[in-house]
Amino acid sequence: MTAASIVIDDRDIQEGLQRVLDAAGDLAPVLKNIGEYEMEATKDRFRTERDPDGKPWEPLNELYKTTKKGPRILTGQTRSLSEIVWQLASQMSVEVGSNVVYARIHNEGGTIKPKNAAALVFSMGGQTFKVKSVRMPRRTFLGINEDDRREIEAIIRDHFEDAIVRTGVAE
C-alpha cells in the first residue's frame, strides 16, 4: 500500500485507451503480416540453402546429385517442399510450414525404415539399392533467428503504433 495515491478518472483518457484496445485487439492483421514475413524468410532459406541461423545445409549425396532433378538442395522439379504456407492457428497465433508429408524428415533429419517390408528399395545414380534404413540429414528450413525476431517485433510495434494514431490517443 502506498502512503499517498491519486486516481485519474478522466473519461477522455479512458475512452482513448479503450479505442486503442479495440483497434489493436484484433490481432489478425498483425498475425497475417508475421505469417507473410516468415513465409518469405523461409522461402529465402531454400534459395540460399541455409538454416535459420545461416549455417549451410549438408551437401547432397554425390551419387544422388548425378541424377537429381531440380536446381538446388531440397528443391526438386515440382518445388513442392519449398512452397511454404502460413495460416492463422488461433486469435493469438500463426503457423508457418509446408503441406508436403516429407517436410518433417527433411527439416529435422532422421532415419527412414520400412513400415511393411524387410527393406527400402530405391534407385539413385542409375543404381538400385535395397537397405534396412536411410539416414536423412537435418536441413532445417523452419524456425526464426534474431533478424526474424527483430522484424516480428517491428511488425507488432507498427500494429500498435498504427492503432494509437487511428484512435487519436497520441494527439
pLDDT tens, residue by residue, 100-158: 889 999 999 999 999 999 999 999 888 999 999 999 999 999 999 999 999 999 998 89
Residue 128 lies in a domain: yes
Q: What is the pTM of this model?
A: 0.79
Q: How many helices (H) and strands (E) does the chain have?
A: 5, 6
Residue 5 lies in a domain: no
Residue 99 lies in a domain: yes
Mean pLDDT of 55-63: 94
Domain count, the chain: 1
Give the DSSP H/E element, type plus range, for residue 135. Answer: strand 134-136
Q: Does 161 have pLDDT greater than 90?
A: no
Q: What is the DSSP letter of 144?
A: -
Residue among 58, 65, 43 nearest 139 (CA): 58
Residue 19 lies in a domain: no
Residue 108 lies in a domain: yes
Amino acid identity for residue 43 in this structure? K
pLDDT given for residue 15 in this prediction: 74
Residue 4 lies in a domain: no
Q: Are 170 and 164 in contact (CB under 8 A)?
A: yes
Question: What is the band of 2 on the pLDDT scale with cuts at 50, 70, 90?
Answer: very low
Give the pLDDT confidence of 81-112 residue by residue, as tens digits: 888 888 988 887 889 999 888 999 999 999 99
Residue 17 lies in a domain: no
Range of the domain at 160: 29-166
Mean pLDDT for all residues in the chain: 85
Residue 14 lies in a domain: no
